[in-house]
Structure 1
Amino acid sequence: MASNQTSLHDVKFSIPIQDVEQQTTLEIEEKDFIDYSKRSQWLRAAVLGANDGLISTASLMMGVGAVKQDIKAMILTGFAGLVAGACSMAIGEFVSVYSQLDIEVAQMKRDKKRIAVVGGGGERKEEEEREGEKESLPNPVQAAAASALAFSVGAMVPLLAASFIREYKVRVGVVVGAVSLALVVFGWLGATLGKAPAARAAIRVLVGGWVAMAITFGLTMLIGSSGL
């Protein structure tokens, strides 16, 4: 009889302790998830924007280099790609974030009307929450500037790599090497900040950049050799 009471007593107190531990673990995991998910906005505008600038500008330079070995043509092409890409990224980000801003502002206005109609004791509290949400609204100008800057940083890598090398084959090799190193760094950095597998992300970004440069180089050489 005494042993039965003891086992029941143990069961009674062991279950709440396990529940508390599981709840604590879930709260920690949820907190970590929320913290890293908040990084998605500036990660996309920074690391991914730089990666876009790197791949697109390098591919343009490799494409022109396939038919024109002149360093001036290659540099001018890369510079034009930098300016055009930065402007495109900035405008696209501005329009996208502004659309998001309009949606959130419209929702806030609807909530404000609902509060005014319903009323109640929680009206002041909800108004304070709305003021806090206004401060956290996305900034289209800031997002556009960040995208343009990130793209420009990535595009500068192949430009600087090719600027001081006259020999064509050496210049192409240096551009490919510099771009490959930067691709690995950008892939690793984006994965590390987002708590994703770094090695896999770096390899994926590197292979993607190689494929983009190879396709651009090959197709441009094919078209250039046909006399078009």
Structure 2
Amino acid sequence: MASNHIPKISLQSTDLETQITPVEIDQTNETKDFDYSRRSQWLRAAVLGANDGLVSTASLMVGVGAVKQDIKAMILSGFAGLVAGACSMAIGEFVSVYSQLDIEIAQMKRDKESGKDQKEEEEEKEGLPKPFQAAAASALAFSVGAMVPLLGASFIREYRLRLGVVVAAVSLALVVFGWLSAVLGGCPALRSVVRVLVGGWLAMAITFGLTKLIGSSGL
């Protein structure tokens, strides 16, 4: 009589590629659990400063170029925009961050009076906003952005070519800034690039059109 007993065969996976070590799991979880909001304060200041410097200076230069073909007038307007904008960004960021600092210090004093743990208080002090650092970062970022259209226009005498180079250089820089902000912030890159690029184009087009209109009216 044939036996109904069927021997069991145990299969062991020997594929080393499918084995996941604890270190790999920890690295994966660390990447997924990374809080991109930690970068929000300095990222906002840096991206806002660079983008503002790029767009505002380029728009100013394009606007002046709409009524004056002289390269000196365009460069001087761009340089004035760089200095004024960098100072404005630094002062605005300093005042804003200092106000935030005052609020957080006042809250820490109230927490101390209510008997808050000293260790938690020291950790909060380390995380307090730094007004001077934020102001310097904003001014530097603005200056970096503003240098792009200035360098693009500095060595080209022919009027139309100069305007085209400025717009092209600014567009390339906007793409880079949009992509960089998306990567650092963990956001979709394409959406960020399109948003920044279209915004910059609109600013330059509106400034050029309105300045051209006013200049041609003889005011």
Q: Deviations over 1:68-120 (max 9, x none)?
A: 000000000000110111011101100000000000000010011111xxxxx
Give me the TM-score of the superposition, normalised by structure 2. Answer: 0.84
Give the number of aligned pairs.
Answer: 192
Determine which structure has the larger helix proportion and give its number: 1
Runs of 4 or more above 2 Å deviation: 27-32
Match of residue 33 from structure 2:
31
Q: Deviations over 1:22-45 (max 9, x none)?
A: xx9xx868832xx20111111111
Match of residue 137 from structure 2:
146
Q: Distance in 1 between matches of 2:47 and 2:114?
A: 40
Is the aligned partner of 1:170 residue 2:161?
yes
Give me the TM-score of the superposition, normalised by structure 1. Answer: 0.81
Q: Which has the higher mean CA deviation after the structures are superposed, 127-136 or 74-83?
A: 127-136
- Secondary structure of the structure 2 residue equivalent to 1:166: coil
RMSD across aligned positions (CA): 1.5
**C-alpha displacement at 1:46, in angstroms?**
1.1
- Secondary structure of the structure 1 residue equivalent to 2:67: coil
Structure 2 residue ranges without an equivalent (≥5): 1-25
Q: Distance in 1 between matches of 2:97 and 2:53?
A: 20
Q: Distance in 1 between matches of 2:110 and 2:163?
A: 57
Judged with a 3 Å threshold, the aligned counterparts in structure 2 of structure 1 residues 135 and 57 are, in CA distance, closer, same or farther, namely same
Q: Deviations over 1:138-163 (max 9, x none)?
A: 11000000000000000000000000
Structure 1 residue ranges without an equivalent (≥5): 1-23, 116-122
- Secondary structure of the structure 1 residue equivalent to 2:33: helix
Instruction: Calculate percent identity across the aligned residue pairs.
Output: 80
Match of residue 49 from structure 1:
49
Q: Distance in 1 between matches of 2:32 and 2:106?
A: 29
Match of residue 159 from structure 1:
150
Match of residue 89 from structure 2:
89
Given that 1:48 and 1:190 are in contact with CA atoms closer than 8 Å, whether structure 2 keeps it comes out as no
